[in-house]
Amino acid sequence: MTNNNKKIKKRILVMLFVVVGCFTLLAGKLGYLMLVKGDDLKRQAMEDQSRDRLINAKRGTIYDRNGKVLAISASVETVSISPVTVRKDGDPEKTAKLLAETLGLDEAKMLEKINKNTSYEIIKRKVEKEEADKIREAELVGVYLDEDSKRYYPYGNFASHVIGFTGTDNQGLLGIEMVYDSVLKGKPGRVVTAKKADGTEMPYKQERYYTPENGTDIVLTIDQTLQHFLEKHLDTAVVENKLQKGAAGMIMDVKTGEILAMSTKPDFDLNDPFTLNDEAEKQRIETIADKEEREKEYNAAIQKMWRNKAVVDSYEAGSTFKIFVSAMALEEKLVTLNDTFYCSGVKNVGGWPIHCWKRQGHGSQTFVEALQNSCNPAFMTIGERIGTDLFKKYYEGFGFTSKTGIELPGETAGVFYQKGMFNEVELATSSFGQGPVVTPLQMITAAAAVANDGYLMKPHLVKQFNDENGTPTQVIEPTVVRQIISPETSKQLRELLEKVVSEGSGNRAFLQGYHVAGKTGTSEKLPRGQQKYVSSFIGFAPANDPKIAVLIALDEATGGDTYGGVIAAPVVKKIMEDSLRYLGVEPDLTEEEAAKTEVATPDVTNKSVDEARGVMTTFKLNVKVEGNGDTVLEQVPKGGVKVAENSTVILYTEKRVIPKTTKVPDVTGLTFKEAEQKLSEYGLKISAAGDTGDKVATKQSPAKDEMITPGGTVTVTFEKKAH
């Protein structure tokens, strides 16, 4: 071997090392790209390679505390296309025509969309199943159908400000729907389709389906029945008193802080929340010439319609505030029940004469009487004894300076004097309720604390969260914010406030046997001197063991009276009466009272009309005779039913034909719950045939639109859902 060849060998070896070195570097770079950065690059590549279609999760249902459905989502579909796929592999003309015809869209616009250079275009949302099926059957290439949901509110206007509603993207826009949007909406699923670089689908199916996570159901503390009572009586009050600015009302469970009912009037239909329902306002806006101005006004009006007065609007507490001044004074032992106060109709504070609402004065009165009379000078004197510091301490303690934290949007915290602005005169006026500006919710929460042994409860609307199987995932327990007065003071106040109703200014809220306690309030709206008032009444019952608190605030009554004791107290009385009966609270009547007021109807059937009249008179009952016969064939109420004295008993002397006045609604396609709900709205009963679980109604008897007697029964057959 030559010397040269040895050298060459050596150099070849060096070159081999160089080459192996290069490969080592490349292997390192490959390792970095594939093992370290691999996931990241893969994810980026997938984003480029895939076309996503979102599948909306089923939004959680909202129930009342007894499981009645207040808001529910039904399945609809979203139609989308992949324009490049339609152009390449499909039939653009046919696709445009069919989509336009089925969905009621413009064919030219449809073609325009198909000619877009994108790989995903939404054609229409919230398409009902029948239309979607038509498109599905046509088997168009590049056209996709995905599940979506639409929100239904079975009760329409019911508790509209509390429940709230959703927008086009199923996002909550008001009330519980807004506050718990993230909980209700769940997690949307996705369909990822692999696509080629030109946007068309990969030749083999590479579709991945990520199941949506359905939203959480919410059970409210609202009781549908109590809400119904509240709304019924509030509606009446709005009309009777010609309220200019509507009304707000609430029923609260005194012991837990649960809101059992909350209503703002006027309300709106949750199924159609974007339409202004105030006709006069609508006409006014339509006459505005400037388009921009008109839209602005319309939006403002809509916002006003959506405003939940119960938590957003604050008002001057007025005389209802005397409850809390009394609480402060009694708790701090600054007054006794028998302390006497003299009212001349005016009291000078800081050089200013401040008048009583009763200009001629109340004269000499005990503390108990002063509260019953709602006497301003007496409370000014009590305020003096309390002083600004203690007053402020309690004012804050009752929660008037902070938001309650209720699960509703836009809650406000009321207004009180700025630091250093709360002096002698302000203390005096505040002592009878002029000055403190609070929200209805703050008022009822504080009043409930007075009734509840001094424990201020955190008001809340959500009772529990359930997963889609109805299993509770979270139960909201009552929360004590703080104890503000002692149970003894609470007891004293309960008795005092019961007297306000039974003997004092609140007597129009008196309800035999139910021990309603409460306080009236009439506050002049600011700025003063416009003769505009908020008339309110806050009450709770039964006074000896309070269960519910009811607050009514009527805004700008123009029907004559404006005094809270005159117009708000009767509303509370009616609500209390319905609610307490519904809640099974036994009226606590002495035997004498009971005997005095109630009688059992005698059975007079088969007696002659004259004889029957005689019997009824002796029972202090009135008679109304229907028909021309001589003999009583039937009576309403029947014999043995307890009724109030001077009630009327109807005597029928002819065979009674009950008119068929109720039209049967269509319940097919509904679940048992929904069907029951719907029928009950029509005052009808349901009789289910077949197993009802996870089934839908397929048949009903009588059929829809048939007329039957009110209160009749509809037999509904349930069968397995057809998919």
| CA distances (Å), origin 329, targets 255, 387, 449, 699 | 24, 10, 16, 67
Residue among 38 and 683 whose Cβ is closer to other proteins: 38
Q: Is 319 a catalytic residue?
A: yes
Residue among 202 and 600 whose Cβ is closer to other proteins: 202
Residue 360 as a binder of other proteins (CB under 8 A): the answer is: no
- Among candidate residues 50, 73, 319, 536, the one labeled active-site is 319
Taking each helix axis as running N to C, give the angle between helix 224-240 and helix 569-582, from 0 to 180 degrees, rounded to the nearest 10.
160
In the complex, least distance from residue 47 CB atom to other proteins, rounded to whole angstroms:
10
Q: Is residue 349 within 8 Å of residue 333, measured between CB atoms?
A: no
Site residues (CB under 8 A) for other proteins, limited to 206-245: 206
Residue 37 as a binder of other proteins (CB under 8 A): the answer is: yes
Strands 247-253 and 259-265 turn out to be antiparallel
- Binding other proteins (rule: CB under 8 A), the pick from 94, 112, 202, 648 is 202
Residue among 200 and 225 whose Cβ is closer to other proteins: 200
- Binding other proteins (rule: CB under 8 A), the pick from 12, 239, 346, 707 is 12
b/e 66-96 (16+ beta carbons within 10 angstroms → b):
eebbbbbbeebbbbbbbbbbbbbebebeebb
What's the token pair of residue 482?
A: 């703080």
Ramachandran sector of residue 114 (left: φ over 0; alpha: ψ -120 to 50; beta: rest): alpha
Tell me if residue 362 falls in helix, strand or coil. Answer: coil
Tell me if residue 603 falls in helix, strand or coil. Answer: coil
The residues, any chain, with a CB within 8 Å of residue 651's CB and separated by 6 or more, are 604, 609, 612, 623, 624, 625, 626, 632, 634, 635
**# residues contacting other proteins (CB under 8 A):** 42
Residue among 44 and 648 whose Cβ is closer to other proteins: 44
Site string for other proteins, 38-67 (x = CB under 8 A): xxxxx-xx--xx------------------
Residue among 196 and 613 whose Cβ is closer to other proteins: 196
- Binding other proteins (rule: CB under 8 A), the pick from 130, 137, 139, 198 is 198
b/e 698-711 (16+ beta carbons within 10 angstroms → b):
bebeeeeeeebeee
Length of the chain: 723
Q: Give just the sign of the alpha carbon dihedral 345, 444, 336, 506.
A: positive
- Binding other proteins (rule: CB under 8 A), the pick from 97, 124, 136, 196 is 196
In the complex, least distance from residue 45 CB atom to other proteins, rounded to whole angstroms:
4
Q: Give CA–CA dist 34/22, Å, rounded.
A: 18
Tell me if residue 371 falls in helix, strand or coil. Answer: helix
Residue among 166 and 193 whose Cβ is closer to other proteins: 193
Residue 25 as a binder of other proteins (CB under 8 A): the answer is: yes
In the complex, least distance from residue 197 CB atom to other proteins, rounded to whole angstroms:
4
Q: Which of 415, 178, 411 is nearest to 312 (CA)?
A: 411
Residue 8 as a binder of other proteins (CB under 8 A): the answer is: yes
Part in contact with other proteins (CB under 8 A); list of ranges 76-84, 201-209, 402-410, 682-690: 201-209
- Binding other proteins (rule: CB under 8 A), the pick from 140, 194, 301, 594 is 194
In the complex, least distance from residue 11 CB atom to other proteins, rounded to whole angstroms:
4
Residue 26 as a binder of other proteins (CB under 8 A): the answer is: yes
Q: Give just the sign of the alpha carbon dihedral 296, 300, 301, 305.
A: positive
In the complex, least distance from residue 85 CB atom to other proteins, rounded to whole angstroms:
14
In the complex, least distance from residue 195 CB atom to other proteins, rounded to whole angstroms:
8
Residues that bind other proteins (CB under 8 A): 1-2, 4-5, 7-9, 11-13, 15-16, 19-20, 22-23, 25-27, 29-31, 33-35, 37-42, 44-45, 48-49, 194, 196-198, 202-203, 206
Known catalytic residues are: 319
